[in-house]
Chain A
Amino acid sequence: MKVQLSHPERQVEVKGPKRVKDLLRDLNLVPEAHLVIRGDDLATEDEMLKDDDTVEVRPVISGGSN
């Protein structure tokens, strides 16, 4: 699956199927600091992502003004 990341912006290829929870763990990303967006919707941690999915893992924490 294609995984879009930020800070810095980049795309990585990850083998599916994989649960959202496990994807974050494998990428060493703190769940409380990220949202996983698939298409137009949010994906919860228990959702299973497939090989042909494209997801965005968006960091939610800002250090400056919000």
Chain B
Amino acid sequence: MRCKKCKTKAVIGLPRHNAAFCKPCFNEFVHDQVARAIKSERMFAPQDRILVAVSGGKDSLALWDILLKLGYRADALYVDLGIAGYSAKSREKVEQFANTTGTACGATLLIHTVQEEEGAGIRELADLIHRPTCSTCGTIKRYQFNRTAVEQGYDVMATGHNLDDEAARLLGNVLHWQEEYLDKQAPTLPASLEGFTKKVKPLYRLAERELAAYAVLNRIDYIVEECPMAKGSKMLLYKEVLNRLESESPGTKQAFYWGFLERQTKARPAPASMAEKDQATLHPCTTCGQPTTAEICSYCKMMARAKASLPR
């Protein structure tokens, strides 16, 4: 297989683009796709301070790497969930990356440790409040990520969601016609009111396999092992199904997700009216001040229940 651009030996085939690339040309392709995403979705400006959510997985570490290589001011936040046999390993990968590439580019790694700040690991917290672990994890991560971005004055938050993630999420939302969720599924979510930071997904044009290849080729050491709580998740099932379709018919995932984005852009309420809608329904939590539709936000409610049950 020959590189489409320079004709030397290819290291990766990309059937959905009818192409194959050598390492340098592949890196260029990946960087271009991210640059294109940032520009077309107006994600951030060169001088903006970006906070990247990193987990130790390939997508978030690749994202941090790419943003730094593109010359952006990108710091990262890692949330240590306290999952026995897993969190220590993922944290190690993040710290290793931060101490090498991060430091070389002048980037800072922030760490939030759930055990210390919320009083117990994620599994114990989920048990205490009788909620599924993944749901508890999501609430804590989104809350801490937004809070850190607001308190530390970052202009925008970035997550490593890729084409596979977004296509799988879209499939789930369409299968069950979750129209409210469809409205909020966009690569850029504006900072609709005080207390919310703008949120972006710069990797949405890249497939998960391409990001894994980017990490391997650029010697980014990431945690390959799955989160032990992810087994049997619906997302995995949707991704599996979509990848079977993609293997038979390359280009399926992008036709589905980018096709949705094109149609949504025409139908989507403008950021101004999304902001108006949020402003009408959201107000500060009476406990912490973060935006919520209720009197007390779901994070504070969750923490109140947990603290009531935690041993003193």
Contacts and interface: CB of A to CB of B under 8 A. Distances in A.
Interface of A: 6-7, 30-35, 37, 41-42, 44-47, 58-66
B216 interface: yes
Given A31-B247, A44-B10, A45-B13, A63 B60 contact: no
Given A32-B247, A37-B216, A63 B230 contact: yes
A42 B209 contact: no
A66 B13 contact: no
Interface string B195-217: 00000000000011101110011
B208 A62 contact: yes
Interface of A is mostly: loop
Contacts of A7: 226
A35 B213 contact: yes
B1 A46 contact: yes
B236 A61 contact: yes
Interface string B153-184: 00000001110110000000000000000000
Contacts of A47: 1
Given A34-B209, A42-B11, A58-B224, A63 B239 contact: yes
Contacts of A32: 207, 209, 243-244, 246-247
Contacts of A59: 224
Nearest to A29: B247
20 contacts: A6-B224, A6-B225, A31-B247, A32-B209, A33-B208, A42-B12, A44-B1, A44-B11, A59-B224, A62-B58, A63-B230, A63-B236, A64-B134, A64-B226, A64-B230, A64-B233, A65-B55, A65-B60, A66-B160, A66-B162
B233 A63 contact: yes
Contacts of B207: 32
B243 A33 contact: yes
A34 B231 CA distance: 18
Contacts of B137: 65
Nearest to B81: A65
A61 B230 contact: no
A32 B247 CA distance: 6
Contacts of A33: 208-209, 239-240, 243
Contacts of B226: 7, 62-64
Given A7-B226, A61-B164, A66 B216 contact: no
B235 interface: yes
B71 to A, nearest CB: 24
A66 B209 contact: no
B79 to A, nearest CB: 9
B158 to A, nearest CB: 13
Given A33-B243, A42-B217, A46-B1, A62 B209 contact: no
A49 to B, nearest CB: 15
Contacts of B225: 6
Nearest to B86: A64
Nearest to A65: B55
Contact of A60 (B165, B208, B231, B247): B208
B88 interface: no
B75 interface: no
